Structure 1
Amino acid sequence: MKSRFRILPWLGLAMVMLLGARTGHAVESGDATAAPAAAPAEMAATTAPTIAIDKTELKNGGTIKVSGQAEPGKAVYLEVWSEDHDVRASRFDSEKDKETGKRPYIFYMSGEMPAYYKIFVQKDLQPTIDEAKKAGNKWSYSALLKDLGADVAYSVPAKIKIDHFQSTLMASIVGSRGKQLPVMDEKETKKRSMQLVKARFRSIDKVFGAVIDVQPDGSYTADLNIRSGLAPGKYKIVAVVDKQVKSEPAVFENKISFPTVYMDNAGTSMNLIYPFVLTLVVAIFGVLMGAGGGFIMNPLLVTLFPALPHTIVAGTVTPTVLFSQGSGIYNYSKIKFINWKLGASIGCAMLLGGFIGPKLTEMITLDQFKFAFGWILIVLAGLMFWQTTPGYLEKNKKEQAILKEFKKRAEQASTGK
């Protein structure tokens, strides 16, 4: 009886070993079966497209013909960007959050945005672009990117470094950026980079174009129109058919020569002859009215040269006014038409405004800038027109005497008496 119980443990051990052997054999068989199934999946990976360009050099813009081969049935996208020059892009988020109903007052800023960035899509997607244009300034870069299927090609701006600051309503009014927030994760950085692309380039036509013609066999061609007035240096073109499936970059160089010069902070090139002539005319009339002409130059530059960001226009006009103001101060002091006490008191207020203004300018959009500046000009124009009416001049004969005295002293100064 005891011998029987001694045999039972040995029988149990034998059964466990037998089951383990069968299980191991089943796993090995499963691996052997799965291996052939995995092989076709690897073989089915999308082949990277090829790309070729007909020229490697442009002179202040031009047209480049791109051609290549992709897998049949695959959509082709071309991502083009400036390799040598980056510009600053900023956006102040003051819109109400749909979920919380609160205004975030967060300021986003990056100095690594490519001076030129554009994604080209197939010609049959032009209606999608046209539909987005109907939204006016309310169009969404991320939404249009998704509708075009071009999110697979969006790569370069998604990698830029973005700083963001928590501001407040009062801080935003005086132009303060606020407290810098911790670094964003990769997903959030990509999302905010899309908003900065729109804030920087503004127009749909500057960031999207439908020019690619794809044949049934997968071959494609595209005529890329690189507009004039862009940054000089190297540009890269990459053909994309899927995420992480892209061609090697094709490189070309854009060259410019004087009198066209590149402005680094504006991210654009400009022929200096046109603003020189414009400024000469404006300075004459500006000094005549006791100003440097900046309030005239500002709206003219924004209107006539839309490629210039309004922040750069506002900043550039300020020091240039110094030249006309300097010569104006000399000539007005020569004919004794300057009241230094009044000028010094007003200058203190202007000194304070000089600190607040630049910070506030970088936080507002171009539309907000035009709206505020437009109303200021309308009010000033209305006041000046009112002061030239016969009724006003009749009631203010003192001004008539001042005008006569001004003419008299001007004539004496010109004759050297």
Structure 2
Amino acid sequence: MTQANEPPLQLRRNGLDPAEELARARDGEGVVRVETPWGLPGYLVCRHADVRRVLTDPVRFSSALTPLRGAGALDPGEAARMRAGQLIGLDPPEHTRLRRMLTPEFTARRMRRLEPRITEIVQSALDDLERAGRPADLVAHFALPVPSLVICELLGVPRADRAAFQDRATRLLDTSLPAEELAAVRREERAYLADLVARARADRGEDLLGTLVREDGDELGADELVGVAGQLLLAGHETTSNMLGLGTLALLRHPDQLAMIREDPARIEPAVEELLRWLSISQSPPPRTTTAEVEVAGQVIPAGALVICSLPAANRDPAFAADPDRLDVTREPAGHVAFGHGVHHCLGAPLARMELRIAFSLLLRRFPGLALADPYERVDFRVFSVVFGLNALRVTW
């Protein structure tokens, strides 16, 4: 597979920070033309206020009109089946209908019921990390398995299927993957999920898929259930796992901030919010397509254009947060867009926040001497992925 030398502007980073050219785009014009993985030119929106405006307005900035990435390798019927149930690719009222069914399963109250089991999963992963011996890969032994096991248990996915799912998830998010290869991964993933849904229909367990089949099965078609399962698996796993790896790296790079959390465990919740803002690992939500000519940051964007929102640039916008490039776990960054905004605000945000709070707290308590095993310059970042992350992070203690 031939890979470009540099990712598109919206994916560029300088270590843990957004690339300098992304900050210049935000502080300059605010909207710039970019190439996209869709093979079409797009308009990159960089300022916090403008990003919130785009994400709040599904009438002028449509998700449903944006084609699937690599759709040229799919026939129209196949592409339509793959879009079914994909909340991030729908507009109201269809989006509203599906989200209404899922929202009760992701309330903060329901998530709290999972806290004891999540704590067990985190402690087991920390045991595994310690058994691996120093130095150990924090990604392989901690950041990946914790959210993977949580979301798989929530949805009723067999543990034995986890490794194969992780491999497919990584490829699905790789923007350098050729269209034909991406289509093949999508078909493989869909076949697996269709079998998972068929099993849930046959045996309606207490997991989330079983609950959806039992309570909303008459309204949800098989393709929609497949789409819902796929999106929840991908979003519930990839974002949280990469936050755990990158969040740990960020704290190790800022020992004064790490010390404040360790000395006062009550700081963990604002610290999680600050890490979400500062890292913004979801580089951008899926593009929107303009339904009419529209003006953003003083620039006219024609109808039918792709609009991409840069969440890292928006969350580091000086107009939104004071001294935004500084990691400050005492900050109260209300209004960050790390989970998106508007009707597509991340459904699983309460679950992600709880996992991060528990995982960081127990990690820092178990390993008070946690440190990088390699120089920072050798950290292995994922640079072509829609979700920013690490391939590995060797640590010692």
Tell me whether the two structures share a fold, i.e. TM-score over 0.5. no
Higher helix share: 2
Q: Which protein has greater RCO, CA pairs closer than 8 Å, 6+ apart?
A: 2
Q: Which has the larger radius of gyration?
A: 1
TM-score range, shorter chain: under 0.3
TM-score of the superposed pair, with normalisation by structure 2: 0.24
